[in-house]
Homo-oligomer: A and B are copies of this chain.
Amino acid sequence: MARWQPHAPERLLVAALELFEERGYENTTVVEITERAGLTKSTFFRYFPDKREVLFGGGAMTGLLVEGIDTAPAGAGPLEVVAHALDAIGREVFTADRRAFGARRSAVIAANPELREREALKELGLVAAMTDALKRRGSPDLTARVAAELGALAWKIAHERWRDAAGEDDFAELARRALTEVRAAGASCQRQAGSAGA
C-alpha cells in the first residue's frame, strides 16, 4: 500500500509547478499533479496535507534551520548562529542547480493570493522555530525573537537576490552579506533621533 517512491516529493513539486504555470494554481487538481508525476493520490497526501503545501516542502526547511542552529559553534552570538543556519539552507536547499526553479516557484506564488498566504504563514512558522532553537541555546526570549526576525529578513533579501541573479554568488554568501547589511541597518535604527535621513 505505502510503496516507497524514490524522490516522490521532488517529482510532485516539479509536476505541480509545471501545471500551475501552464493552467494556473486554481485550475490544477491534486490528481492532475500526481498523474503528471507518475504517482498516486495517496502518495501525494502521504507527503502533503493539501495542494498548496507541495510548493512548501512540508517542513523540511524548518528541520534544516533548526539543525543549523543546534550545531552552530558554542559561544557564537545569536546572529552568528543564524548565519550558520542560513549556510545550511544554502548547502542543502538553495543550490546553484535549483536557482532557475526557485525563480519560477516564487513567480507562481507571487501570482496567487492563496499561495502568498500560505507562504506568509510558513514564514511565521520558521521565525517561531528559529526563536525556539535560539532559546534552547540560552538566548533570552526577546533576543532570540529579534535575532530570528532579522535572520528571516536576511533570508528574504538573500533569496530575492539569489533567484534573480545572473551571477555566480551562492545562497550562503548572499545570506551572509544580507545579514551583515541587516545588522548595520539594525544599528542605525538604534539611534534615537535626528537620523531618519541618515
Residues of A within 8 A of B (CB): 74-81, 113, 116-118, 120-121, 123-124, 134, 137-140, 142-143, 145-147, 149-150, 153, 157, 181-198
Contacts and interface: CB of A to CB of B under 8 A. Distances in A.
A96 to B, nearest CB: 26
Contact of A189 (B74, B77, B193, B194): B77
A153 B145 contact: yes
Given A117-B118, A118-B117, A146-B150, A137 B185 contact: no
Majority secondary structure of chain A interface residues (helix, strand, loop or mixed): helix
Contacts of A149: 149-150, 153
Nearest to A117: B117
State how many copies of this chain the complex holds: 2
Nearest to A182: B146
Nearest to A82: B189
A36 B194 CA distance: 51
Contact of A77 (B118, B134, B153, B191): B191
Contacts of A197: 137-139
A181 B154 CA distance: 21
Contacts of A191: 77
Given A75-B196, A120-B123, A187 B185 contact: no
A113 to B, nearest CB: 8
